[in-house]
Structure 1
């Protein structure tokens, strides 16, 4: 089932005897939508700056996939939270503290190897998430899961090929790829954090508790790193706070750029 074929927001389904809180589903969709929106924005920074013109196109297409996920999720959050906000309202009218994305996706791209390291981590997480979300009791989330899982499978392939290429290339490319992994890995643990809301949605079959994806995620990324001759980082610290609206100092400039046209021409259409 495609997203377009999914049931309307009012048609939430849960196992017999259980009731889904629309506010919980809205908050859950907002988190996932913000992850996709912010990573899409970061990837767009590589357009015209990637190593080859083919890579310009590949990264742009991945960014467009993520933007499509964000539009569905943020629009759905606006339906469920009672505000009627559109995806544009969520993207362009919130302050930095109102975004609920994981910190990993807002990190500056750094060099190309660092961006690929982030893509490896996030794409493998996203693939597992959307595969599981296909079984959601909520028709909209299940429809998105079915569509997005296929798209993110390519994101995994793209990132994996570059990790192997850089890890098994020259001494310099190997060094940079390992350095990129070491830089982003402390931010990966936040992807798998759970809380009471997510646990409720997982229990009633609506959402997916990311904590139960971690083992399979680590196995899949480790397989890629082993093929590339790279080491799985073991961070001494871990990032927290993104889901509560606490962001890195690099986030404010990203949001300012994202919202610049809307701020100059509020309400403008074309």
Structure 2
């Protein structure tokens, strides 16, 4: 059980770590000052959540690794994040579509985890859900505003949705780690979250005048570590270089 629990905690922490870093790449580059601040705050929230998840993962592992060790000293194949969150930012519309698709799943996952049989996980989920509620509200408003905006903003949002949709299915697939968490009452069956997720997306995309793709194909392998895109390796090279060059440096 401890191995599966460690894997599950890494999945939760790696999702927020990788997406947090991705969102932080907008700092100083967002289209308007308000968005620059909002994106930076979102990134900080996600990195804060990462610390909670990965510190607990290190505690479960019992090998002396904390959140920093897990974040900066694992190679790409050690990461267990969803493929969705490692995709490049693209334009602002693509960044916000990625955020919306993830937040809609993330909040439902956290709400379910608040009933976890593991009290530490339930506590992290409760704290994180407060932040993610805001993330989802903001991403929803942005998707609707841009989707139902100008012809250009609409086309960009539709292109972003079409590009990112093949990465949605992975969030709802069940594997051995998920099954072990379900059996222990720690986490929900991923598939159980899909109906409410689809209902939310249908409502938002209708308001945004966007067409949800009908193809059910979904890329797999990110959360199991069996397959990552080339983008994650490039991102980690930037994120980890200081700790790799100067191991255990303090300042």
TM-score tier after normalising by the smaller chain length: over 0.9
Shift of 1:75: 0.9
2:212 alignment counterpart: 232
Q: In structure 2, how many angstroms separate the alpha carbons of the residues matched to 1:268 and 1:200?
A: 37
| 1:250 matched to 2:215 | no
The 2-side partners of 1:174 and 1:89 are apart by 42
Q: Which piece of structure 1 moves more, 230-239 or 174-183? A: 230-239
Where 2:74 maps in the other structure, the secondary structure is coil
Which ranges of structure 2 fall in alignment gaps of 5 or more residues?
Answer: none
CA distance, structure 2, for counterparts of residue 200 and residue 236 of structure 1: 26
Q: CA deviation at 1:196?
A: 2.3
Instruction: Note if 1:24 corresponds to 2:4.
Output: yes
Distance 2:8 2:194 in 1: 18
Aligned mates of 1:88, 1:103 — CA distance in 2: 22
Which segment is superposed worse, 196-205 or 49-58? 196-205
Q: Which residue of 1 aligns with 2:246?
A: 265
SS at match of 1:243: coil
Cα distance in 2, alignment partners of residues 211 and 247 from structure 1: 22
Per-residue deviation at 1:236?
Answer: 6.0
1:37 to 17, 20, 30: 17
Summarize deviations over 1:170-226 as a string: whole Å, max 9, x none.
101000011001110100100111112212211321122221101111111221111
Distance 1:128 1:202 in 2: 15
Structure 2 residue corresponding to 1:177, chosen from 157, 175, 181 = 157
Q: Contact 1:199 / 1:209 at 8 angstroms: preserved in 2?
A: yes
Aligned residues: 250
Q: Which runs of 5+ in 1 are unaligned?
A: 1-20
Task: Give me the TM-score of the superposition, normalised by structure 1.
Answer: 0.90
Query: CA separation in 2, counterparts of 1:119 and 1:126?
Result: 10
Larger fraction in helix? 2
Determine if contact 1:182/1:235 at 8 Å carries over to the other structure: no
For residues 88 and 181 of structure 2, the distance between their equivalents in structure 1, rounded to whole angstroms, comes to 32
8 Å Cα contact 1:78/1:86 also seen in 2: yes
Does the CA-based 8 Å contact 2:169-2:217 persist in structure 1? Answer: no
Q: Distance in 1 between matches of 2:143 and 2:67?
A: 33
State the alpha-carbon separation in 1 of the partners of residues 183 and 159 from structure 2.
39
1:15 match: none
Within-5 A mapping of 1:101-116: 101-116=81-96
Question: After alignment, is 259-268 or 52-61 more displaced?
Answer: 259-268
The one-character-per-residue Cα deviations of 1:71-115 (angstroms, maximum 9, x if unpaired) are 111111111112121100011111111111110000001111111
Aligned counterparts of 2:184 and 2:241: Cα–Cα separation in 1: 40
Instruction: Establish whether residue 128 from structure 1 lines up as the match of residue 108 from structure 2.
Output: yes
Matched ranges for 1:197-208 at <5 A: 197-208=177-188
